Chain A
Amino acid sequence: MKKISKEDMNRFIQSLLSDYTVYAPVNIDGIFSFKPITNFQGIDLNYQNSKKPPKEIFFPQSETMFEYEKGKVTSAEKVSRKRILLGIRPCDAKANLLLDNVFAGEDYQDVYYINKRENTIIIGLGCRRPLSTCFCTSFGGSPFSRDGLDILLIDIGNKYIVDVVTDKGKEILTDKFTEASEEEVKLAEKIKRETEKRIKSEVKIEGVKEKLDTMFESPFWDKLSERCLRCAVCSYLCPTCHCFDIADEAKDSQGRRIRNWDSCMFPLFTLQTSGHNPRPTDKERMRQRVMHKFNYFIGNYKRAACVGCGRCILNCPVNIDIRKVLKEILTS
């Protein structure tokens, strides 16, 4: 394990800016988001988690796929500059691995996503103060999980303990990263153990898929969708949601093809030109959301499409709590 003082860390980040685009948490009016920074002073690490998930670094909300003019096509898939993603939480890093199943799986390679993933070095920051809405441990995660990270930083006061997870992470280290002493490592381990115990929220995921297999026609969905407003807050703020829309924005035959985030909660999502809609009301759409995350995704990739980050719970305008939903599914 290595270590680095916080001042040296700031200098390190500053030095990275010459070769990399550095995305880090930025505080604008109390809302944190991952944005490219021009100076290490723009970073604010005094946060629980960002509002919008860092999936937007690999899968932007609006992304030009290619431009065309009179039949000549120019693809926008190249990544012009290598990137660093700094300060991502372990739950979001795990979510990226789930998205890899969709975008970088066996069938068809999504070059836009893959190019960004391959050209990004991910430096995670372990959580010292999980919220009562955090339940990463119920989905195989933890506040200091290394999954999906190249480097994990553990804040032990005036310095970080640096856990170098991959070779990709090792390559960017400088000589300011020195060997941590045994006491420092022990302190980091102690902090990890104690923080993990602070996650009180426990969600039972075992048996949910099997129960959902039997529930497609259940009146459970009518009840659940009653208070839902059918906005896209949960879908857009979720680090594992991946649905998108493709549109052409053009004048005559010159323009671009762009993809934008979309949500299964919107009425147009499955509407066919004939007017037929396999999901005509809120009930079917709510059912699709829950089924996709806790049944279909598991059927395809053996993992639930949830990492327990809690953003949907914190931001839902009508305070729907997915933890309660999962509990009700098991007991219904």
Chain B
Amino acid sequence: MQEVQRKIREKARNLLLAGSVDFVIGFEEGALLLRASPVFIHKENDVEKLIWDSFCENNLAAYLTKIGNKRVAVVAKGCDSRSIVALIVEGQIKREQIVVIGIPCQGMIDRRRIEKEVEGEILEVKEKSDEILVKGDSFEKVFKKEDYLYPSCRTCKHHNPVISDILIGKEVKERAQVDEYAEVDEYEKKSVDERWDYFNKEVNKCIRCYACRQACPMCYCEECFVDNSYPRWLEKGLDSSDLAVWHIIRAYHQAGRCVDCGSCERACPMEINLRFLTKKINKEVKNYFNFKTGLDFAIPPPLATFNVEDRQDFIDSGE
């Protein structure tokens, strides 16, 4: 980790000194424990702020849609790099503008689970190679990293960046045998009523803060459908039907575009299970179109193109 951190700083300094980029987007130490915070480095003196640890949970590709014509270096984990590919395929940024500092990722720690399993506030954190040691006023506990990863990290099959201009760190062995849709399969076994009750319970926690939308790199619409007034698709309050519509349509807009980075879940202050629908949609897209987002520059997203062989059995022929 320390070595990776040192190299990130070195590469960032070189890029800035050479004038290859206008600024570097990376992570700096968070204001809170168990957190890191995105940072924009404009001057080579500031590169010492850059860090790398198991709390670098944000998807920095979310910032790439507002860089305009600037040239930018961005620190990217496996999932983040797929978002970058997806954004390039959708024409939102140009490949030449971005210097991808790829970091093979071991997974990010689910800080909320750790916080829930201790009695009181965590006052000290020490990260070791495969453990996190936390201390509070009346407790001291050790957590094995691999047992406390975020749900999206536990089923990740792309730890290594799929593109990078600079690759820092040892390659991580991908786990080909992990079934990333196991959770979806479990839900599918439940009845429609059970699934609806679960979904309804989750979305009724929503406070329409749109943190999920803002944290997601693929939500870059200048005017989101919730703000359309003509036609007005849904209202802005906490009516149950509006909450359901907001989440359902957002999930649909992610079809063929979501990389399952989990940033939405991590950003949500109400801890809603936001990957419930997107995970299912990802599975459907994989089954119907044999497509996973962000792996190949040459393949357009399935909902932005068509193929003569596409299935048509769902179209009512009217007979």
Q: Do chains A and B touch in the complex (CB under 8 A)?
A: yes
Report which A residues bind B (CB closer than 8 A): 28-31, 48, 51-52, 61-62, 129, 131-133, 223, 226-227, 229-233, 235-237, 245, 247, 249, 258, 260-263, 266-268, 282, 313-315, 317-321, 323-324
B248 part of interface (Cβ distance < 8 Å): no
8 Å CB contact of B211 from A227, A233, A266: A233
Interface pair B31/A317, CB less than 8 Å apart: no
| Chain B interface bracket (under 10, 10 to 19, 20 to 34, 35 or more) | 35 or more
B196-232 Cβ-contact flags toward A at 8 Å (1 or 0): 0000000001011111011100000001000100000
B20 part of interface (Cβ distance < 8 Å): no
8 Å CB contact of B270 from A51, A227, A235, A263: A51
Query: Taking CB as reference atom, which chain B residue is nearest A64?
Result: B237
Q: How far is the CB of B267 from chain A (nearest CB, A)?
A: 4
A267 to B62, CA, bound (A): 17
Interface pair B267/A231, CB less than 8 Å apart: yes
Interface pair B31/A233, CB less than 8 Å apart: no
Given known pairs A31-B205, A319-B37, the reply for A229 and B270 (CB within 8 Å) is no
Residues on the A chain within 8 Å of B270, using CB: 31, 51
Q: How far is the CB of B250 from chain A (nearest CB, A)?
A: 13
B303 part of interface (Cβ distance < 8 Å): no
A304 to B208, CA, bound (A): 26
B232-243 Cβ-contact flags toward A at 8 Å (1 or 0): 000111110000
Interface pair A317/B267, CB less than 8 Å apart: yes
Interface pair A31/B209, CB less than 8 Å apart: no
Interface pair A260/B237, CB less than 8 Å apart: yes
Given known pairs A247-B236, A318-B58, the reply for A31 and B271 (CB within 8 Å) is yes
Query: Taking CB as reference atom, which chain B residue is nearest A237?
Result: B269
Q: How far is the CB of A117 from chain B (nearest CB, A)?
A: 21
Interface pair A320/B267, CB less than 8 Å apart: no
Query: Taking CB as reference atom, which chain B residue is nearest A282?
Result: B66
Residues on the B chain within 8 Å of A321, using CB: 31-32
Residues on the B chain within 8 Å of A267, using CB: 223, 227
Query: Taking CB as reference atom, which chain B residue is nearest A29?
Result: B271
| Contact sample, A vs B, 12 pairs, CB 8 Å cutoff | A31-B270, A51-B270, A133-B32, A227-B39, A229-B211, A229-B214, A231-B210, A260-B237, A260-B238, A313-B31, A318-B58, A321-B31
B266 part of interface (Cβ distance < 8 Å): yes
Given known pairs A30-B271, A313-B31, the reply for A231 and B211 (CB within 8 Å) is yes
Interface pair A61/B267, CB less than 8 Å apart: no
8 Å CB contact of B215 from A226, A229, A266: A229
A230 to B139, CA, bound (A): 37
Interface pair A62/B205, CB less than 8 Å apart: no
B108-125 Cβ-contact flags toward A at 8 Å (1 or 0): 000000001000110100
Please classify the interface of chain B as helix (H, G, I), strand (E, B), loop, or mixed, using the class held by over half of its residues.
loop
Please classify the interface of chain A as helix (H, G, I), strand (E, B), loop, or mixed, using the class held by over half of its residues.
loop
Interface pair A233/B62, CB less than 8 Å apart: no
Q: How far is the CB of A239 from chain B (nearest CB, A)?
A: 14
Given known pairs A131-B121, A260-B237, A320-B37, the reply for A231 and B209 (CB within 8 Å) is yes
A233 to B206, CA, bound (A): 11
Interface pair B58/A317, CB less than 8 Å apart: yes
Interface pair A62/B38, CB less than 8 Å apart: no
Interface pair B207/A236, CB less than 8 Å apart: yes
Interface pair B40/A247, CB less than 8 Å apart: no
Q: How far is the CB of B299 from chain A (nearest CB, A)?
A: 29
8 Å CB contact of B235 from A29, A61, A258, A323: A258
Q: How far is the CB of A91 from chain B (nearest CB, A)?
A: 16
8 Å CB contact of B238 from A61, A226, A245, A315: A61
Interface pair B237/A319, CB less than 8 Å apart: no
Interface pair A62/B239, CB less than 8 Å apart: yes
Query: Taking CB as reference atom, which chain A residue is nearest B58?
Result: A318
**Those of B187-203 within 8 Å (CB) of chain A:** none
Residues on the A chain within 8 Å of B280, using CB: none
Known contacts A229-B215, A263-B209, then 4 further A-B pairs from the complex at CB < 8 Å, ordered by chain A residue: A51-B269, A62-B239, A231-B209, A260-B208
Query: Taking CB as reference atom, which chain B residue is nearest A227?
Result: B38
